[in-house]
A and B are shown apart, each in its own frame.
Chain A
Amino acid sequence: MSEEESPRWFPHSIYIASYQTDDPEKKLDIQETINRLYDKYGGSRSSMPAKLEFTIGPISGYVKEIVRQASQVLLVATGSIEAKTKSSGLITPRDEYDQLIEDLKKSLPENPGSAYSLKSIYTPARTEAAALIEGWARNLGQPVRSAGLVKGCLVATVKSFNQDSLLLPSKRLIISPCEQGFDEASKAVWMMCSDISALAACVGQMNRLYSERELIFSQTEAGETSTQLRINEILAELRRPLDEIQPKNLEAVLKEITVLFSRLSTASNSMRRDYIKAKGIFREMSNLLAGWTERSVDDYITNSSAEMHYVKDLMVPFRDFAQRTEALMAQLNTVLDSVRTYLGIQQHKLSIAEQTSSKEQLIRLVNLQETLHKLEILIVAVYLTEMARIVFETLLHESAGFLTVAFIPVALLISIFLGRILHKNH
């Protein structure tokens, strides 16, 4: 927020809420909210950016939309032209400024991705500011989570708790501009509002990303256990004697592994994609907070470190989910290798059996061929003997029978001789 744009009065109570959507159809109509507030409180309004400034008696009010990438941030502030200084412990948790903020909040859209409630108190001396923060935290009944000096302001955040989730969508801060004049202090607070609006946009994006996946994170353990059990069952099946494993069973196993593998791959890649998105948000936030050049106060962790720790904690389940599903995929690859090995062994066995069978067939063929050769010799011998008998009966009729019998060995020898000549090339 530039110096010209910021109101001249001192903001005492501030509420910053960020809303996220990727869908242009779902973008909030902030101008419409501003118009409604204008109808109620009057003042001066404008569009581009949508904003409203009004006064109710001594109290001034300000509502402004800040658009940052996929976030719409609403900055709502109430304050006065006079400095409100109180000594430590005297800040009431709800004063007239807070009451007006609460009224204004009723007109704002519900469920922001992140919300920051800020209380701003002007303290000329730094020691007074530190005591003030302690007193404020005591009044709220919540310990201070982080504190630091940012751009001339002492900024502190109280601890928030959420037993059911890592998500902390709303945070409470106190800002105390110190060791500077009232005008500079006012500008410093408005500057902080601008910085916290940018921070709210980043944190809101991260909160939304996390909340969209929170249910899946809660299923990681159960999903992993169930898949692991199934992998163990498949491996146990594959450890059975080779003869008991039927190709049909292996086919079913392959089909199942393919289904499991594709689901795990989809889940893991989607989570990797979200993790990369989260890293982008973290980078943006780190750059923003680096610009704060925050200095630590007493033993408190700085606000910048606390915010970065918070976002880092939200990023961990994304990485863990991706790594755990990838580990399951690695196991499925082992199962796939086992199935491939079994299929290879079975194929090898089949080819050995085929080789043995064709060898036996060859022997049978050779034997058959030999038998045929012998038969061939006999046929030729019979044919020659019959021819000789015809010749003998014609030439030497009386001794034809004797000569035919005597010719049989000769016919056999001729037949063998002919057979050898004919099959010489085979």
Chain B
Amino acid sequence: MSLRIPEDWFVNPRVLGDFYRKYKGYPIEEIRKVSFEQGLAVGRSMKKQLGITGDDLEALASLLRAVLKDEPTAKIISVERAELLLRNSGFCPLMTACLSMNLPWTWLCSALGWPFFHGLASAVNSKVNLTMSKRREKGDPYCDHTFEIGEGKLVIP
């Protein structure tokens, strides 16, 4: 079974439901890889469109602002020399999709959500690390995505 992630998974709960039912038994690492590649492709296309040339965290902030401009629940909290903090709070698309379609929140975030963001960031710098320092699916009040220049890893503590 060749894995294909629909392009509108983050805005269409029905698509997420269909995807989960089809691939719930699939190795999660494989799904993560495909989601990462999807994020990378979106990131590269946006980077070109916006004319972003840098590879530092300021450049990443510009990209994230553009990608998330229509997403009221995601906000860049701080951009420092060594760290960029993106916070997701309120009723995010994955949370509401999980609630309405009765889907497992943790599975969707870890298989699709975080690798996609890591892919987006990697379009600016392939050595960006994404650490999910706070996660709502484990009870934190918001999701904190911490980006740092490192070894290009997705860290889920």
Contacts and interface: CB of A to CB of B under 8 A. Distances in A.
B89 A226 contact: yes
Chain A contact residues, majority secondary structure: helix
Contact of A260 (B91, B105, B141): B91
A266 B96 contact: yes
A226 B95 CA distance: 14
A396 B72 CA distance: 96
A263 B71 CA distance: 11
Contacts, number: 61
A256 B72 CA distance: 6
Interface in B1-44: 13
Given A216-B99, A219-B136, A263 B91 contact: yes
A212 B99 CA distance: 9
A270 interface: yes
Contacts of A221: 141
Contacts of A223: 89-91, 95
B57 to A, nearest CB: 24
Interface residues of B, number: 22
Interface in B102-147: 102, 105, 136-137, 139, 141-142
B62 interface: no
B72 A230 contact: yes
Interface in B32-78: 70-73
Contacts of B91: 223, 227, 260, 263-264, 267, 325
Contact of B90 (A230, A266, A269, A270): A230
A255 interface: yes
A395 interface: no
A36 B134 CA distance: 45
A209 to B, nearest CB: 10
A221 B90 CA distance: 9
A218 B99 CA distance: 13
Contacts of B136: 219, 222
Given A226-B89, A227-B90, A219 B73 contact: no
A263 B141 CA distance: 18
Contacts of B98: 216
A223 B142 CA distance: 8
Q: What does DSSP make chain B's interface, helix, strand, loop or mixed?
A: loop
A7 to B, nearest CB: 40
Nearest to B72: A256
A414 B95 CA distance: 89
A216 B72 contact: no
A270 B141 contact: no
A263 B137 contact: no
B93 interface: yes
A104 interface: no
Interface string A263-281: 1101101110000000000
Contacts of B139: 215, 218
A400 to B, nearest CB: 83
B15 to A, nearest CB: 14
A254 B7 CA distance: 25
Of listed B96, B99, B136, residue having the most chain A CB within 10 A: B99
Contacts of A271: 99
Given A222-B136, A223-B89, A227-B90, A260 B142 contact: no
Contact of B141 (A215, A222, A325): A222
Interface string B80-102: 00000000011111011011101
10 contacts: A219-B95, A222-B89, A222-B141, A256-B72, A263-B73, A263-B92, A263-B96, A267-B91, A267-B99, A269-B100
The 4 closest A-B pairs by CB, nearest first: A222-B141, A226-B89, A226-B90, A263-B91
Given A216-B99, A219-B136, A223-B91, 20 more contacts: A212-B102, A213-B99, A215-B137, A216-B98, A218-B139, A219-B95, A223-B89, A223-B90, A227-B91, A230-B90, A259-B72, A260-B91, A263-B73, A263-B91, A263-B96, A267-B91, A267-B95, A267-B96, A271-B99, A325-B91
